[in-house]
Structure formats: structure tokens, C-alpha cells
């Protein structure tokens, strides 16, 4: 196994620190039961994803089910804002988008609570199976044709990423220890990034115009944000706090580094074989990959955020997978 093989491996665990039903304050549990319209009789915890807090399917006393998320700043100071964004974004999704419907929500200024319809399916099998990946890629293609509802409040993708896509500039201006960490942890890919830092900065500066467009963008597609229901012939795309309006091919490009990490194949080939890549120039693709890799790389050398101790390892792996694709493009 080469050094690059070592860094191009998805961390085994990538979930946040979850709360159980009994961990929620009594008034939050009471409010959830009130909003759901029945008392809670059982819970099935979610086991994937990065967000801390509470996430579970709740079985209600009247036989119905509801998927509930609940979070406060005590779990992570930024998670309530993501939950509020998900409430806003749910209202922007047209009916044809395969996303669980938001049934109700509540925000008391501290705890943000969301109740979704329960959708059935399973996570993709990993390493990715060709049939699972094909279904997901087809769904991404259909998503690119969807338009947010009239009057939506979604941000533009280039605006949403304006601060994130400055990673290489921050690394170039920051302490040398951050660049040393890239070399130490990234092997040949880390050394390549440091040797080509000036070029990466220039590419990154072109990324935001390439992200612009009018399509609905999920913005955070990975295997843990997908559920496949073959019985109903449907793929569900879940967790929408990062949704925006931008270039129709971004979800495809931004998902493929994680697909490569999880045994799904070569991202360059998958991207160019997909209809969404038609008309996307190599310059546009390189710019957006540079922006994405820089955000992952810069984030990965920061201290671990509260409640999500394994996020940095995931971001580090994503950074090197994206760089591996960019280096060959």
C-alpha cells in the first residue's frame, strides 16, 4: 500500500455525538409530543451523519412515526443555525424533489426542533455497489432540473461559499505549521499541494463564478445523506441545511471525492460519463475542485468542533481525495 493509499481512505466512524430521548430536557420532550400530537412510546436513533444533538425516528402512542431532530448550542454553537437553515430550506423544495417533508418545527431561541415524515430505505452499501451508485447518480441528474418554489429564500451558491472557498489563501497566509501538517498527513498529495500552493490560490479565486447558476443545489451529498428504497424505486436525499441555487453540476462534482473514498470508482471518469458534465469546461471544474479542496484542507487543521470530534479526520480525507482528482485534471 502506498502513502497515497493511506490518506485516500474514509475514516471508519464519522457520526456526531448523539443525544438519546432521555437526554433531552423535559420541556423539549413535552414540546415534541405536543407538536407530534401524541406521546412518544419508542425511539430508533440515527447512527450516521455529523450533526450532534438528537436525531431519531419516534414511534408515537397512536401508531404514527416521525423523524425528529433537536439541537441546542450546548451540543455545538453552530448547529442551531444549521437547523434553522434546514427549516428555511425545506420550504423552498418543490414536490418533485425526493426529500422527506418537514411536518413541523419549533425554535424557542435555544432549542431548535424539526419533525419530518419518515421515509423508508437503506443507506448505500459500502464500498459502493454499481447499482446503488447508478440510482443515486440518476437522482442527482433529475435534481438538477428542479427549481426552488417561487419566493424561496435560498442563498446563491457563490454567496454561500464565498467565505469557505478561501482555504488556500488562508493556509498561505497562516502559520507554517498548518502547511507542515498537510505534508505530514498527506504524503505525496500534501507535498504536491504545498509545492503548487500559488496555483491553487489562483484556481480558488476563479471558483465562485464557476459555482453560479440557477439550479437547486443540495450542497452536502454523501452516502450518509442518501437513502435507497428499491421497493418503491426511489432514492431519498436527506439533510438540506446547505441548500442553495447554483450550477447544476455541483452536487455531482462535490459528491464524487467521497464516492472515491468509499470504493465507488474514479471521479474523473464518473463525472465525464454523466450528462451533467456536458458543457462544463476543465477550467471550471478545476476551479471548483480547488475551492472545495482548499476548504477541506484548511478546515482539517483547525481544532475539533464541539460535539463532532471526528469531523476533522473526515475533512482531511476529503481534501486529499479532491486533490487527487484535481492533480489529474
Instruction: Please indicate, yes or no, if residue 5 is contained in any of the structural domains.
Output: no
Average pLDDT value for residue range 145-150: 94
Least Cα distance to 48 among 15, 74, 70 occurs for 15
- Rounded to the nearest integer, the mean pLDDT of the chain is 93
d(CA 54, CA 72): 10
Instruction: Please indicate, yes or no, if residue 9 is contained in any of the structural domains.
Output: no
Same domain, 109 and 147: no
- According to the model, what pLDDT value does residue 51 have? 76
- According to the model, what pLDDT value does residue 1 have? 30
Domain's final residue, options 51, 82, 116 = 116
What does the pLDDT look like over 39-65, one tens digit per residue? 999 999 876 666 789 999 999 999 999
Higher pLDDT, 274 or 9: 274
Q: Are strands 112-116 and 65-71 parallel, antiparallel or unpaired?
A: antiparallel
Least Cα distance to 80 among 51, 57, 58, 104 occurs for 51
Long-range contacts: 124-130, Cβ < 8 Å, 24+? 124/223, 124/226, 124/228, 126/223, 126/262, 126/263, 127/262, 127/263, 127/264, 128/223, 128/259, 128/262, 128/263, 128/264, 128/265
Instruction: Please indicate, yes or no, if residue 12 is contained in any of the structural domains.
Output: no
Q: For residue 58, what are the domain limits?
A: 18-116
Dihedral sign, Cα of residue 57, residue 59, residue 65, residue 71: negative
Asked whether the predicted pLDDT for residue 15 surpasses 60, the reply is: no
Domain's final residue, options 86, 101, 116 = 116
What does the pLDDT look like over 77-132, one tens digit per residue? 999 999 999 999 999 999 999 999 999 999 999 999 999 999 999 999 999 999 99
Task: State the CB neighbour count (10 A cutoff) for residue 18.
Answer: 18
Same domain, 102 and 136: no
Instruction: Please indicate, yes or no, if residue 6 is contained in any of the structural domains.
Output: no
Q: What CATH number should be reported for the domain holding residue 109?
A: 3.30.200.20
C-alpha cell at 200: 491553487
- According to the model, what pLDDT value does residue 307 have? 86
Same domain, 112 and 132: no
Asked whether the predicted pLDDT for residue 309 surpasses 50, the reply is: yes
Amino acid at each position: 500500500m502506498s502513502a497515497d493509499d493511506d490518506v485516500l481512505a474514509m475514516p471508519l466512524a464519522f457520526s456526531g455525538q448523539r443525544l438519546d430521548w432521555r437526554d433531552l430536557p423535559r420541556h423539549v420532550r413535552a414540546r415534541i409530543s405536543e407538536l407530534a400530537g401524541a406521546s412518544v412510546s419508542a425511539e430508533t436513533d440515527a447512527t450516521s451523519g455529523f450533526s450532534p444533538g438528537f436525531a431519531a425516528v419516534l414511534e408515537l402512542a397512536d401508531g404514527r412515526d416521525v423523524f425528529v431532530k433537536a439541537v441546542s448550542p450546548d451540543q455545538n454553537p453552530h448547529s442551531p443555525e444549521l437547523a434553522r437553515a434546514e427549516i428555511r430550506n425545506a420550504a423552498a423544495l418543490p414536490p418533485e424533489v425526493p426529500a422527506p417533508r418537514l411536518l413541523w418545527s419549533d425554535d424557542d431561541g435555544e432549542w431548535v426542533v424539526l419533525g419530518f415524515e419518515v421515509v423508508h430505505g437503506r443507506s448505500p452499501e459500502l464500498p459502493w455497489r454499481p447499482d446503488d451508485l447508478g440510482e443515486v447518480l440518476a437522482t442527482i441528474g433529475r435534481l438538477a432540473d428542479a427549481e426552488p418554489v417561487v419566493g424561496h429564500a435560498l442563498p446563491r451558491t457563490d454567496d454561500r461559499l464565498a467565505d469557505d472557498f478561501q482555504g488556500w489563501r488562508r493556509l498561505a497566509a497562516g502559520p507554517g505549521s498548518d502547511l507542515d501538517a498537510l505534508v505530514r498527513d498527506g504524503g505525496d498529495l500534501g507535498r504536491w499541494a504545498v509545492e503548487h500552493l500559488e496555483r491553487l490560490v489562483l484556481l480558488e479565486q476563479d471558483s465562485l463564478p464557476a459555482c453560479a447558476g440557477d439550479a437547486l443545489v443540495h450542497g452536502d451529498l454523501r452516502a450518509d445523506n442518501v437513502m435507497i428504497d428499491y421497493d418503491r424505486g426511489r432514492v431519498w436525499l436527506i439533510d438540506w441545511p446547505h441548500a442553495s441555487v447554483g450550477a447544476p453540476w455541483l452536487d455531482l462534482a462535490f459528491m464524487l471525492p467521497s464516492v472515491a473514498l468509499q470504493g465507488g470508482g474514479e471521479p474523473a471518469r464518473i463525472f465525464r460519463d454523466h450528462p451533467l458534465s456536458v458543457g462544463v469546461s476543465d477550467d471550471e471544474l478545476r476551479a471548483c475542485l480547488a475551492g472545495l479542496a482548499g476548504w477541506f484542507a484548511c478546515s482539517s487543521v483547525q481544532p475539533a468542533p464541539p460535539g463532532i470530534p471526528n469531523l476533522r479526520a473526515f475533512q482531511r480525507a476529503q481534501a486529499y481525495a479532491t486533490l487527487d482528482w484535481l492533480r489529474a485534471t
